[in-house]
Amino acid sequence: MGRLIISLAVACFAAAFGLALVNAVTEAPIAEQRRLEVLRAVEETLPPFDNDPVGEALHMPVIPPGEEVPETVTVYVGERGEEPTGVAFAVKGEGYGGFITVMLGVDLQGVISGIQILEHLETPGLGANIEKSSFTVRFKGKSLENSRLVAGNLAVINDGGDIDALTGATISPRGVAAGVSWGLKIFSEYRGRILEEAREGPSPASTGTEPGTGPDAGQEPIPVRGEDR
């Protein structure tokens, strides 16, 4: 009996020790990968900048239109020569298979400078085509002022808006449009505060991207609006 317990304990301690070593080696690269992932999406969507939007990210509590509970949105502000040029943050819309997470970049006038699909569960070959740049480019240059709105939102042509949907897939583009519209409204409402906080420098809560706690903690690199899926 004693031998059994000892051998089990030895196995467990050896495993824990070995894994702690491996974890120590991989922790930094994993955090770096997550940072790069966000940075790539930010570069893709923001107007040209020369600062480090990811390192200086703001964590802003916002109250979404029509809701009461505040949510924290991580905002990446692009600056050029100390002057803000645009803002990027992740938004979510309901697609066909689940939530679609989109990085939305806008300039200071609220005109979309770019969007990139971060995560989605849409049908391969149909709805999944939203991640192609031929689709995402359709949002570039749009704003709540210059677009044909349906119930105050950007919308696909089928719904009376002016964004080209995809062949064989309407629900996924509709989800992207809804998420983007949500983001545009948030921006127009919080524009002043975002820019004010950006001038003051990083808010105390933002100490860069926090390293995840487990091997899978990074599945959702940019937490926004509730949980995924």
Partner 1 sequence: MSLWHEFNKGIVSRNPLLRLVLGMCPALAVTTAAANGVAMGLAATFVLVCSNFVIAVFRKAIPPAVRIPIFIVVIASFVTVIDLVMNAFAHEMHKVLGLFVPLIVVNCIILGRAEAYASRNPVLASILDGLGMGIGFTLALVVLGGIREMLGNGTIFGVSVVTAAYEPAIIMLLPPGAFLALGLLLGAMNKLTGVEGS
Partner 2 sequence: MGELFVIFVAAVLVNNFVLARFLGICPFLGVSKKVETAFGMGMAVIFVMTLASVGTILLYNYVLVPLNLGFLQIVAFILVIASLVQFVETVLRKTVPALYKALGIYLPLITTNCAILGLALLNVMKSYNFLKSVIFGLGAGIGFTLALLIMSGIRERLEFADVPKSLRGVPIALITASLLSIAFLGFTGLIKM
| 219 near partner 2, judged by CB under 8 A | yes
Region from 24-32, 47-55, 102-110, 190-198 binding partner 1, contact rule CB under 8 A: 24-32
Region from 15-23, 107-115, 128-136, 162-170 binding partner 2, contact rule CB under 8 A: 15-23
**What is d(CA 98, CA 94) in angstroms, rounded to the nearest whole number?**
6
Of 39 and 150, nearer to partner 1 (C-beta) is 39
Structure tokens at 175: 């989800």
Which of the choices partner 2, partner 1, none does residue 171 contact, using the CB cut-off of 5 to 8 A by kind? Answer: partner 2
Radius of gyration of the chain (CA): 21
Terminal-to-terminal C-alpha distance of the chain: 47
Out of 19, 63, 157, 205, the residue judged to bind partner 1 by CB under 8 A:
19
Out of 96, 135, 139, 182, the residue judged to bind partner 2 by CB under 8 A:
96
# binding residues, partner 2 (CB under 8 A): 25
| 10 near partner 2, judged by CB under 8 A | no
| 40 near partner 1, judged by CB under 8 A | no
State in angstroms the smallest separation of the CB of 120 from partner 1: 13
Please give the distance of CA 137 from its chain centroid, rounded to a whole number: 17
Q: Are 18 and 11 in contact (CB under 8 A)?
A: no
| 143 near partner 1, judged by CB under 8 A | no
- In the sheet with 83-94, reading across from the earlier edge strand, the strands are 58-62, 71-80, 83-94, 99-107, 112-119
**What is d(CA 23, CA 227) in angstroms, rounded to the nearest whole number?**
26
Which of the choices partner 2, partner 1, none does residue 7 contact, using the CB cut-off of 5 to 8 A by kind? Answer: partner 1
Structure tokens at 78: 């692009």
Compute the 3-state secondary structure of the chain and give helix, strand, coil in percent, each to the nearest 5: 40, 20, 40
| 89 near partner 2, judged by CB under 8 A | no
Angle made by CA atoms 56, 62, 68, in degrees to the nearest 5 = 160
| 214 near partner 2, judged by CB under 8 A | yes
Which of the choices partner 1, partner 2, none does residue 229 contact, using the CB cut-off of 5 to 8 A by kind? Answer: partner 2
| 227 near partner 1, judged by CB under 8 A | no
Looking up tokens 């790539």 gives 40
Out of 9, 10, 14, 19, the residue judged to bind partner 2 by CB under 8 A:
19
**What is d(CA 154, CA 166) in angstroms, rounded to the nearest whole number?**
16
| 215 near partner 1, judged by CB under 8 A | yes
Angle made by CA atoms 205, 78, 46, in degrees to the nearest 5 = 120
Binding site for partner 2 (CB under 8 A): 12, 15-16, 19-20, 22-23, 94, 96-99, 123, 171, 212-217, 219-220, 227-229
